[in-house]
Amino acid sequence: MKKKLLFVIFLLAGKFIIAQYSKGVQLFENGYYQQSIPYFKKELKGKNQDKVIEKLAQAYYKTRNFNEAEQYYQQATQKKQC
């Protein structure tokens, strides 16, 4: 019984994380760059870190927060070089 409950919890948590990224992308694509940032930050712990880091860099760049953008662009570059 406990195993089934844990499975359901992990399944729901995974869907929640995917929903966070999707919501961030939707906001980003509609020009709401500042509002997309918290959704991407929540997703940093997920599996798609490379995509999230790039989106965060772009969102920070679009909001003219160049220091944060630079940090995430550097992270994205380092991950690609590895």
For residue 4, the model assigns a pLDDT of 58
Angle separating helix axes 49-62 and 33-43, nearest 10 degrees: 160
Structure tokens at 15: 């869907």
User: What's the token pair of residue 23?
Assistant: 């919501």
The CATH number of the domain where 74 resides is what? 1.25.40.10
**pLDDT score, position 7:** 45
The count of domains in the chain is 1
How many angstroms separate the CA atoms of 9 and 32, rounded?
31
Report the predicted TM-score, pTM, of the whole model to 2 decimal places. 0.74
Q: Which domain holds residue 20?
A: 2-81
Report the pLDDT value the prediction gives residue 77, as an integer from 0 to 100.
Answer: 87
Tens-digit pLDDT profile for the chain (82 aa)?
665 544 445 444 444 455 778 899 999 999 999 999 999 998 887 667 888 999 999 999 999 999 999 999 999 888 777 6
CB atoms < 10 A from the CB of 80, how many? 9
Which pLDDT belongs to residue 42? 87
The H helix count followed by the E strand count for the chain is: 4, 0
